[in-house]
Amino acid sequence: MTQLITTELVELDQNLGNSPETVIRHLASKVAATGRASEVEGLFADAFAREQKTATGIPGGIAIPHCRSAAVIEPTLAMARLDPKVDFGAKDGPADLVFFIAAPDGADQAHLKLLSKLARSLIKKDFTAALRNASSREEIVELVDGALADKPAAHAAAPAGVAAGAAGAPAGSTSAGPVSASSAAGDSASSRPKRLVAVTACPTGIAHTYMAADSLVAAAQEAGVDLQVETQGSSGAKPLDPAVIAAADAVIFAVDVDVRGKERFAGKPVINAPVKRGIDEPAKMVQEALAAADNPHARRVPHFGAEEQAEHEADEKGEHIGQKLKRALLTGVSYMIPFVAGGGLLIALGFLLGGYDITEVADTVVVENNFGNLPEGGLTTYLGAVLFKIGALSMGFLVPALAGYIAYAIADRPGIAPGFVAGAVSGFMGAGFLGGIVGGLLAGYMAHLIGTWQVPRWLRGLMPVVIIPLLASIFASGLMFLVLGGPIAGLTLALNGWLSGMTGASAVVLGIILGLMMCFDLGGPVNKVAYAFAVAGLSAGSADNQAPWQIMATVMAAGMVPPLAMALATVLDKKLFSLAERENGKAAWLLGASFISEGAIPFAAADPLRVIPASMVGGALTGALCMAFNVTSQAPHGGLFVFFAIGNLLMFVISIIAGTIVSALAVVALKRWAAPKSAATVETVPATV
């Protein structure tokens, strides 16, 4: 196995800048310079994107930026001892020890276990003290190699309470062992010590997952509590023994992703928190779990294991009902888009091959004809009919998928079936995407409510697969049939009629509004509302009703303007932009052409008061031009790469070019007029392709 760290990957007492961005970029450069990564920018972008999700600073002056990246050739550790320290987001202050963990996308389990083991070693004070006292790079490498080679049985860094395949921990590891009743914290009313179980998980699954596990076990040992942890990380996981879970008084979920097999913990008092809190405040989490174990009113894991992790965390942060609804709606839209994207492109290809008249004969052609019996019009008509029909059937899932995954966002898996059924009823009633939204919300909240019922143990197994789908489907779909479907269908019909009748000035005004929304927050909530509005109406488009297709083209074209404009601006006047921004500008050409509005975020983050208004001006112009010249798109995404799905392609391109030029000139003018910061001092967030 290749050595994970070498002297070339170590920096001692170096000034690597004053931000995590500069430190990570420097260490990524070291990894690439040793031939362990194919490119610096790709590795840096992946690592910094991970850093932005959750800060990697941990107590003790340590930071562990890490990522999996396609740019990494072999698993690698790079280390820097910083002078001065840099703030990586730890509560106790900046870090002077930084370990950069870079793993390939397809890293093997042996390497991932070693990387995870190093992360666990960093919470040991004797190890970090030795790193700080080391006088040479060779000594650092020796210390790290020693930590990686250490046997679990002889090392305190692999607590027995961690049940997982991490860092060489034995597959059947046992708990730290029970303690006497007198020493168990908060156990005055029990004849045995409190028993806790925990699950830790993070998106990458290399460092935080295992460090949180060890920190929780250590805190539990100090409190005299029996705790076992299941680490759901990249190096594999062994589920906790069902008997251990059954005997537990409470459960801790220190996770940034969904817990796999959450239903195993049904009925247990639960403490939810991000995985980083398991590292920063393990003692507090243990005490909170002990308090929950003694509190009959404490939050519990639902009996069907369906209360979404995000909702737990949102409740603890005081998320209000509007934010919960927004999260559910955006979840539904995100799962709906693949049906619309595939269906829209297939329909466009069908029209390309068979013409718009294919809608009239597609059903007959696909049933009665084949390659040996081609219809009138030949092979292109036959293939056009097949593609159109596949696309139309895919688009038929738009409303059920929207409703089903809105319900899923609220009630997890038990909400999917009633949500899909309510969406199908909405489609049958003609209620469209508005009915799908209402049906999904009704199904989700009813499924969630039923899941909180206290039921006998013998009935629990039937709850998620029979009882909840049955009752929630009856409730949501019944309301849609009996009460809500008709009025919503009338509203949908009126909305479609209004859109179809928009011409001239009213259409241009709508284009301006959509253009402004698409460029306001570059992938944020306002942008998503405009995009969701366009995508949700796409299925209503037809050769006789092209208004929904016009709205889709307007939204897509306007969303392409900000990154393209920033790319052009960096060419028009390079000295106004930092080196990093100019590099981001090169990537923004492709991002903009692909309709990825987020390509402009690095520029907006560094200079929002000039970049966002300039982008909105160009986006509004593009939106107005698209609506004025009846540009259409049957594809919800893809930008210039779905040219075959664009109607009036020439004006589509001209509209984008016009908006791009206006925005680029505006941002250059604003930067000159407003005396921008020196390019050397501008800090930006890198764009990724």
- How far, in Å, CA of 100 to CA of 36, rounded? 13
Check if the beta carbon of residue 425 is closer than 8 Å to that of residue 481: yes
The SS3 assignment for 512 reads: helix
Residue from 26, 67, 111, 202 carrying the catalytic annotation: 202
What are the structure tokens assigned to 162, written together? 């961690």
Check if the beta carbon of residue 50 is closer than 8 Å to that of residue 67: yes
Residue from 26, 66, 303, 637 carrying the catalytic annotation: 66
Q: How far apart are the first and last CA of the chain?
A: 32
Long-range contacts made by residues 28-36, C-beta under 8 angstroms, separation at least 24? 28/78, 28/100, 28/102, 30/78, 31/72, 31/76, 31/78, 31/100, 31/102, 32/71, 33/8, 34/6, 34/8, 34/9, 34/76, 35/73, 36/72, 36/73, 36/74, 36/76, 36/102
What are the structure tokens assigned to 146, written together? 């020693």
DSSP letter at 72 equals B
What are the structure tokens assigned to 501, written together? 């009748």
- How far, in Å, CA of 476 to CA of 426, rounded? 10
- Concerning whether 66 is annotated as a catalytic residue, the answer is yes
The two beta strands, 270-273 and 632-633, are unpaired
Which amino acid, 51? E
- Concerning whether 202 is annotated as a catalytic residue, the answer is yes
The two beta strands, 62-63 and 57-58, are antiparallel
- How far, in Å, CA of 6 to CA of 665, rounded? 49
ω before 84 within 30° of 0 (cis)? Answer: yes
The two beta strands, 646-647 and 250-255, are unpaired
| Nearest residue to 676 (alpha-carbon basis) of 572, 565, 573 | 573
Q: Which residues are catalytic?
A: 66, 202
